[in-house]
Structure 1
Amino acid sequence: MTFPLNADLHCHSTVSDGTLTPEALAERAKANGVDLWALTDHDEVGGQQRAMDAARTQGLRYLTGVEISVTFADVTVHIVGLGFDHTDPRLAEGLADTRDGRGPRAIEMGEQLAKVGIHGAYEGALKYVGNPRLISRTHFARFLVESGVCRDTPEVFRKYLTEGKPGYVPHRWAKLGDAVKWITGSGGLAVIAHPARYKFTPNEEYALFSEFKQHGGQGVEVVTGSHSAAEAVRYADMAREFGLAASRGSDFHSPDESHVDLGKLPPLPADLTPVWSLLAERVH
Structure 2
Amino acid sequence: MPYSLSGVGHNGFEKADLHIHTKCSDGVFTPEEIVLKAKKAGLKAISITDHDSVSGIDKAKPLAIQHGIELINGVEMSSTYQDHDIHILGYFFDHKNPELQRYLDHCRQLRTNRAERMVQKLAKMGVKIEIEQIILKAQNGSVGRPHIAAVLQDGGFVRSFSEAFSKYLGSHSPAYVKSIETHPAEIIRLLNEASGLSFLAHPGQNVPDEILRQLITFGLDGIEIIHPSHDVYKQNYYREIANEYFLLFSGGSDYHGLKDQEEDHFGQTTIPYEWVTKMKSRIVTV
Could you say which TM-score interval applies, normalised by the shorter chain? 0.7 to 0.9
Residues 1-284 of structure 1 aligned to structure 2 (within 5 Å): 4-131=13-140, 134-198=142-206, 200-208=207-215, 210-212=216-218, 215=219, 217-259=220-262, 261-265=265-269, 267=271, 274-279=275-280
- Alpha-carbon offset, residue 98 of structure 1: 2.8
2:66 counterpart letter in structure 1: T
Relative to structure 1, is the Cα distance of residues 264 and 20 closer, same or farther in structure 2, using a 3 angstrom cutoff?
same
Q: Report Cα offsets for 1:192-214 as digits up to 9, x if no partner.
A: 1111111x433223222x333xx
Determine if contact 1:13/1:21 at 8 Å carries over to the other structure.
Answer: yes
Partners of 1:139 and 1:51 in 2: CA distance: 22
- Alpha-carbon offset, residue 258 of structure 1: 4.8
**Counterpart of 1:18 in 2: which secondary structure?**
coil
Determine if contact 1:69/1:174 at 8 Å carries over to the other structure.
Answer: yes
Percentage identity across paired residues of the two chains? 31
Partners of 2:155 and 2:230 in 1: CA distance: 30
Of 162-171 and 44-53, deviating more is 162-171
Partners of 1:108 and 1:182 in 2: CA distance: 27
Partners of 2:62 and 2:246 in 1: CA distance: 34
Q: Higher relative contact order at CA 8 Å, sep ≥6: structure 1 or structure 2?
A: 2
Determine if contact 1:221/1:247 at 8 Å carries over to the other structure.
Answer: yes
Partners of 2:17 and 2:117 in 1: CA distance: 35
- Alpha-carbon offset, residue 280 of structure 1: 6.2
Partners of 2:62 and 2:97 in 1: CA distance: 18
Partners of 2:131 and 2:261 in 1: CA distance: 23
- Alpha-carbon offset, residue 24 of structure 1: 0.3
Relative to structure 1, is the Cα distance of residues 131 and 227 closer, same or farther in structure 2, using a 3 angstrom cutoff?
farther
1:230 counterpart letter in structure 2: Y
- Alpha-carbon offset, residue 137 of structure 1: 0.8
If the length of structure 1 is used for normalisation, what is the TM-score?
Answer: 0.87
Partners of 1:191 and 1:201 in 2: CA distance: 16
Q: Report Cα offsets for 1:209-233 as digits up to 9, x if no partner.
A: x333xx3x21111001222222212
Partners of 1:14 and 1:49 in 2: CA distance: 14
Determine if contact 1:22/1:51 at 8 Å carries over to the other structure.
Answer: yes
If the length of structure 2 is used for normalisation, what is the TM-score?
Answer: 0.86
- Alpha-carbon offset, residue 62 of structure 1: 1.5
Unaligned 5+ residue runs, structure 1?
none
Q: Report Cα offsets for 1:146-169 as digits up to 9, x if no partner.
A: 333223222211111123422111
1:104 counterpart letter in structure 2: N
Unaligned 5+ residue runs, structure 2?
1-10
- Number of corresponding residues: 271
Partners of 2:249 and 2:282 in 1: CA distance: 18
